[in-house]
Amino acid sequence: MTSPAVHKVIARLTSAAKYRDIHPETIVDLVRREGRGTGDPAELERRVRARLHKVAALHLLTTRPPALRRAVDRADLDDPQGRRDWCRQMLGGHFSTAERLPDLDDFYPVLFGLVPPPRTVADLACALNPFTLPWLRQVSEARYVGYDFNASFVGLGNAFLARTYPDCEVQHEDVLADGRPVSADLALLLKTYHCMEGRRTGAGQALIDRLDCRDVVVSFPTRAMNGRAAVFVSRHVEELAELARDRGWRISRASLASEELIAIHKG
Protein backbone atom coordinates (compact mmCIF):
# COMPACT_ATOMS: atom_id res chain seq x y z
CA MET A 1 0.00 0.00 0.00
CA THR A 2 1.23 3.48 -0.83
CA SER A 3 2.59 5.64 1.95
CA PRO A 4 0.02 8.48 1.46
CA ALA A 5 -2.82 5.99 1.94
CA VAL A 6 -1.21 4.63 5.10
CA HIS A 7 -0.66 8.14 6.48
CA LYS A 8 -4.29 9.01 5.75
CA VAL A 9 -5.53 5.99 7.70
CA ILE A 10 -3.17 6.79 10.59
CA ALA A 11 -4.36 10.42 10.67
CA ARG A 12 -8.03 9.41 10.64
CA LEU A 13 -7.64 6.90 13.46
CA THR A 14 -5.41 9.00 15.72
CA SER A 15 -7.92 11.88 15.48
CA ALA A 16 -11.00 9.69 16.09
CA ALA A 17 -12.69 10.41 19.43
CA LYS A 18 -12.96 6.69 20.17
CA TYR A 19 -9.18 6.26 20.05
CA ARG A 20 -7.95 9.63 21.31
CA ASP A 21 -6.59 8.07 24.51
CA ILE A 22 -4.66 5.32 22.70
CA HIS A 23 -0.97 6.06 22.21
CA PRO A 24 -0.32 7.15 18.60
CA GLU A 25 2.53 4.64 18.32
CA THR A 26 0.06 1.84 19.04
CA ILE A 27 -2.09 2.93 16.12
CA VAL A 28 0.92 3.40 13.83
CA ASP A 29 2.21 -0.06 14.72
CA LEU A 30 -1.15 -1.69 13.97
CA VAL A 31 -1.64 0.20 10.69
CA ARG A 32 1.79 -0.77 9.42
CA ARG A 33 1.36 -4.42 10.32
CA GLU A 34 -2.18 -4.74 8.98
CA GLY A 35 -1.12 -2.87 5.85
CA ARG A 36 1.02 -5.81 4.80
CA GLY A 37 -2.12 -7.84 4.16
CA THR A 38 -4.16 -5.49 1.98
CA GLY A 39 -3.77 -2.82 -0.68
CA ASP A 40 -7.16 -1.24 -0.06
CA PRO A 41 -7.22 1.77 2.33
CA ALA A 42 -10.84 1.14 3.34
CA GLU A 43 -10.09 -2.51 4.11
CA LEU A 44 -6.97 -1.47 6.03
CA GLU A 45 -8.96 0.90 8.22
CA ARG A 46 -11.60 -1.77 8.83
CA ARG A 47 -8.91 -4.26 9.87
CA VAL A 48 -7.15 -1.81 12.16
CA ARG A 49 -10.39 -0.76 13.84
CA ALA A 50 -11.19 -4.41 14.50
CA ARG A 51 -7.70 -4.96 15.87
CA LEU A 52 -7.88 -1.81 18.01
CA HIS A 53 -11.11 -3.05 19.55
CA LYS A 54 -9.29 -6.15 20.77
CA VAL A 55 -6.06 -4.39 21.74
CA ALA A 56 -7.65 -1.49 23.63
CA ALA A 57 -10.12 -3.89 25.32
CA LEU A 58 -12.34 -1.03 26.45
CA HIS A 59 -15.08 -3.59 27.08
CA LEU A 60 -13.12 -4.69 30.17
CA LEU A 61 -13.92 -1.38 31.86
CA THR A 62 -17.01 -1.74 34.00
CA THR A 63 -16.94 1.94 35.04
CA ARG A 64 -16.38 4.75 32.54
CA PRO A 65 -13.07 6.70 32.89
CA PRO A 66 -14.73 10.10 33.59
CA ALA A 67 -16.60 8.57 36.54
CA LEU A 68 -13.38 7.02 37.82
CA ARG A 69 -11.57 10.35 37.52
CA ARG A 70 -14.30 12.15 39.45
CA ALA A 71 -13.96 9.49 42.15
CA VAL A 72 -10.21 10.16 42.38
CA ASP A 73 -10.67 13.92 42.59
CA ARG A 74 -13.30 13.64 45.34
CA ALA A 75 -11.71 10.87 47.40
CA ASP A 76 -10.57 11.32 50.99
CA LEU A 77 -7.28 9.42 50.90
CA ASP A 78 -5.77 10.42 54.24
CA ASP A 79 -7.04 7.50 56.35
CA PRO A 80 -5.09 4.29 55.49
CA GLN A 81 -8.02 1.92 56.02
CA GLY A 82 -10.40 4.23 54.22
CA ARG A 83 -7.91 4.45 51.35
CA ARG A 84 -7.79 0.66 51.03
CA ASP A 85 -11.59 0.39 51.03
CA TRP A 86 -11.82 3.12 48.39
CA CYS A 87 -9.10 1.48 46.27
CA ARG A 88 -11.06 -1.76 46.28
CA GLN A 89 -13.98 0.12 44.77
CA MET A 90 -11.72 1.64 42.11
CA LEU A 91 -10.18 -1.74 41.26
CA GLY A 92 -13.68 -3.03 40.69
CA GLY A 93 -13.94 -0.69 37.70
CA HIS A 94 -11.93 -3.02 35.44
CA PHE A 95 -12.62 -6.70 34.88
CA SER A 96 -8.99 -7.78 35.35
CA THR A 97 -8.38 -6.06 38.68
CA ALA A 98 -11.91 -6.80 39.88
CA GLU A 99 -11.38 -10.55 39.60
CA ARG A 100 -8.19 -10.21 41.69
CA LEU A 101 -10.05 -8.64 44.63
CA PRO A 102 -10.72 -11.89 46.54
CA ASP A 103 -6.96 -12.65 46.48
CA LEU A 104 -5.71 -9.08 46.90
CA ASP A 105 -4.62 -9.38 50.54
CA ASP A 106 -2.42 -12.35 49.62
CA PHE A 107 -1.37 -11.22 46.14
CA TYR A 108 1.80 -9.24 46.86
CA PRO A 109 3.05 -11.45 49.73
CA VAL A 110 2.83 -14.44 47.35
CA LEU A 111 4.38 -12.52 44.45
CA PHE A 112 7.28 -11.14 46.51
CA GLY A 113 7.85 -14.60 47.92
CA LEU A 114 9.06 -15.56 44.45
CA VAL A 115 11.67 -12.82 43.94
CA PRO A 116 14.42 -11.04 45.86
CA PRO A 117 13.42 -7.67 47.32
CA PRO A 118 13.38 -5.10 44.49
CA ARG A 119 14.20 -1.42 44.67
CA THR A 120 12.21 -0.62 41.52
CA VAL A 121 9.08 -2.20 40.02
CA ALA A 122 7.94 -1.69 36.42
CA ASP A 123 4.27 -2.57 35.92
CA LEU A 124 3.72 -3.08 32.17
CA ALA A 125 0.22 -2.48 30.74
CA CYS A 126 -0.82 -1.55 34.26
CA ALA A 127 -4.40 -0.31 33.60
CA LEU A 128 -5.90 0.25 37.10
CA ASN A 129 -3.23 -1.68 38.99
CA PRO A 130 -1.68 1.49 40.53
CA PHE A 131 -4.64 1.37 42.92
CA THR A 132 -3.08 -1.75 44.49
CA LEU A 133 -0.21 0.36 45.90
CA PRO A 134 -1.60 0.23 49.48
CA TRP A 135 -1.11 -3.56 49.37
CA LEU A 136 2.26 -3.35 47.61
CA ARG A 137 3.49 -0.97 50.30
CA GLN A 138 2.71 -3.53 52.99
CA VAL A 139 5.51 -5.77 51.69
CA SER A 140 7.86 -3.45 49.79
CA GLU A 141 9.08 0.15 49.62
CA ALA A 142 10.16 -0.29 45.99
CA ARG A 143 9.58 2.63 43.66
CA TYR A 144 6.68 1.81 41.36
CA VAL A 145 6.49 2.91 37.71
CA GLY A 146 3.51 1.87 35.61
CA TYR A 147 3.31 1.88 31.81
CA ASP A 148 0.18 1.94 29.69
CA PHE A 149 -0.75 2.97 26.13
CA ASN A 150 -4.17 4.24 27.29
CA ALA A 151 -3.96 7.86 28.45
CA SER A 152 -7.09 7.42 30.59
CA PHE A 153 -5.33 4.85 32.76
CA VAL A 154 -2.20 6.99 32.89
CA GLY A 155 -4.15 10.03 34.06
CA LEU A 156 -6.08 8.07 36.67
CA GLY A 157 -2.95 6.43 38.04
CA ASN A 158 -0.96 9.65 38.23
CA ALA A 159 -3.83 11.58 39.86
CA PHE A 160 -3.97 8.93 42.59
CA LEU A 161 -0.20 8.53 43.03
CA ALA A 162 0.42 12.28 43.21
CA ARG A 163 -1.77 12.42 46.33
CA THR A 164 -0.62 9.20 47.97
CA TYR A 165 2.76 7.92 46.71
CA PRO A 166 4.44 10.90 45.01
CA ASP A 167 7.66 8.98 44.38
CA CYS A 168 5.74 6.72 41.98
CA GLU A 169 4.29 7.41 38.53
CA VAL A 170 2.63 6.01 35.42
CA GLN A 171 4.10 6.70 31.97
CA HIS A 172 2.14 6.91 28.73
CA GLU A 173 4.02 4.40 26.59
CA ASP A 174 3.34 1.39 24.41
CA VAL A 175 6.10 -0.97 25.48
CA LEU A 176 5.48 -3.16 22.42
CA ALA A 177 5.42 -0.44 19.78
CA ASP A 178 8.34 1.78 20.68
CA GLY A 179 10.85 -0.94 21.51
CA ARG A 180 12.59 1.20 24.13
CA PRO A 181 14.12 -0.83 26.96
CA VAL A 182 12.48 -0.82 30.37
CA SER A 183 14.88 -1.01 33.31
CA ALA A 184 13.88 -2.13 36.81
CA ASP A 185 14.73 -4.79 39.35
CA LEU A 186 11.31 -6.37 38.84
CA ALA A 187 8.93 -6.19 35.88
CA LEU A 188 5.27 -7.20 36.17
CA LEU A 189 3.17 -8.47 33.26
CA LEU A 190 -0.03 -9.16 35.15
CA LYS A 191 -2.63 -10.96 33.03
CA THR A 192 -1.33 -9.18 29.94
CA TYR A 193 1.24 -11.54 28.36
CA HIS A 194 -1.48 -13.56 26.57
CA CYS A 195 -3.04 -10.28 25.34
CA MET A 196 0.32 -9.21 23.90
CA GLU A 197 0.67 -12.56 22.15
CA GLY A 198 -2.83 -12.10 20.78
CA ARG A 199 -1.85 -8.73 19.38
CA ARG A 200 1.24 -10.13 17.68
CA THR A 201 2.60 -13.66 17.98
CA GLY A 202 5.94 -13.57 19.78
CA ALA A 203 5.47 -10.02 21.09
CA GLY A 204 5.30 -11.06 24.75
CA GLN A 205 8.38 -13.25 24.48
CA ALA A 206 10.33 -10.54 22.66
CA LEU A 207 9.41 -8.01 25.34
CA ILE A 208 10.55 -10.27 28.17
CA ASP A 209 13.75 -10.99 26.27
CA ARG A 210 14.71 -7.32 25.98
CA LEU A 211 13.61 -6.17 29.44
CA ASP A 212 16.55 -4.87 31.44
CA CYS A 213 15.20 -6.46 34.61
CA ARG A 214 16.56 -8.96 37.09
CA ASP A 215 13.19 -10.68 37.52
CA VAL A 216 9.96 -10.74 35.54
CA VAL A 217 6.66 -11.97 36.97
CA VAL A 218 4.04 -12.98 34.41
CA SER A 219 0.55 -13.87 35.58
CA PHE A 220 -2.42 -15.57 33.97
CA PRO A 221 -6.06 -15.79 35.03
CA THR A 222 -7.18 -19.21 36.17
CA ARG A 223 -10.52 -18.69 34.42
CA ALA A 224 -11.56 -17.05 31.16
CA MET A 225 -14.17 -14.29 31.10
CA ASN A 226 -16.91 -16.88 30.48
CA GLY A 227 -16.07 -18.52 33.82
CA ARG A 228 -14.53 -21.64 32.31
CA ALA A 229 -10.98 -22.82 32.96
CA ALA A 230 -8.40 -20.73 31.08
CA VAL A 231 -7.15 -23.51 28.80
CA PHE A 232 -4.78 -21.17 26.92
CA VAL A 233 -2.54 -20.79 29.97
CA SER A 234 -0.61 -24.07 29.66
CA ARG A 235 0.50 -23.20 26.13
CA HIS A 236 1.87 -19.82 27.18
CA VAL A 237 3.55 -21.26 30.28
CA GLU A 238 5.39 -23.76 28.07
CA GLU A 239 6.47 -20.90 25.77
CA LEU A 240 7.94 -19.08 28.75
CA ALA A 241 9.63 -22.25 30.01
CA GLU A 242 11.20 -22.80 26.60
CA LEU A 243 12.41 -19.20 26.45
CA ALA A 244 13.94 -19.58 29.91
CA ARG A 245 15.69 -22.81 28.92
CA ASP A 246 17.11 -21.18 25.80
CA ARG A 247 18.44 -18.23 27.79
CA GLY A 248 19.63 -20.15 30.83
CA TRP A 249 17.13 -18.43 33.11
CA ARG A 250 15.38 -19.97 36.11
CA ILE A 251 11.60 -20.16 36.64
CA SER A 252 9.51 -20.44 39.80
CA ARG A 253 5.74 -20.56 40.21
CA ALA A 254 2.96 -19.83 42.67
CA SER A 255 -0.83 -20.08 42.53
CA LEU A 256 -3.76 -18.12 43.89
CA ALA A 257 -7.41 -18.98 43.39
CA SER A 258 -7.81 -16.41 40.60
CA GLU A 259 -4.29 -16.17 39.21
CA GLU A 260 -1.19 -18.17 38.26
CA LEU A 261 2.17 -16.47 38.80
CA ILE A 262 5.30 -17.35 36.79
CA ALA A 263 8.54 -15.73 37.94
CA ILE A 264 11.38 -15.60 35.42
CA HIS A 265 14.72 -15.02 37.06
CA LYS A 266 17.01 -13.46 34.46
CA GLY A 267 19.70 -12.59 36.72
pLDDT one-digit tens code per residue, 187-227: 999 999 998 998 889 999 999 999 999 999 999 999 877 77
What burial class does residue 121 get, using C-beta atoms within 10 Å of its C-beta: 0-12 exposed, 13-18 middle, 19+ buried?
buried
User: 157-183 pLDDT, tens per residue?
Assistant: 999 999 999 999 999 999 998 667 799
User: Global pTM?
Assistant: 0.92
Exposed e or buried b per residue across 78-93, where buried means at least 16 C-beta atoms within 10 angstroms of its C-beta: eeeeebbebbbebbbb
User: 117-138 pLDDT, tens per residue?
Assistant: 999 999 999 999 999 999 999 9
Domains of the chain: 3-56 (1.10.8), 62-265 (3.40.50.150)
For residues 185 and 160, the answer to whether their CB atoms sit within 8 Å is no
Which of residues 142 and 60 earns the better pLDDT score? 142
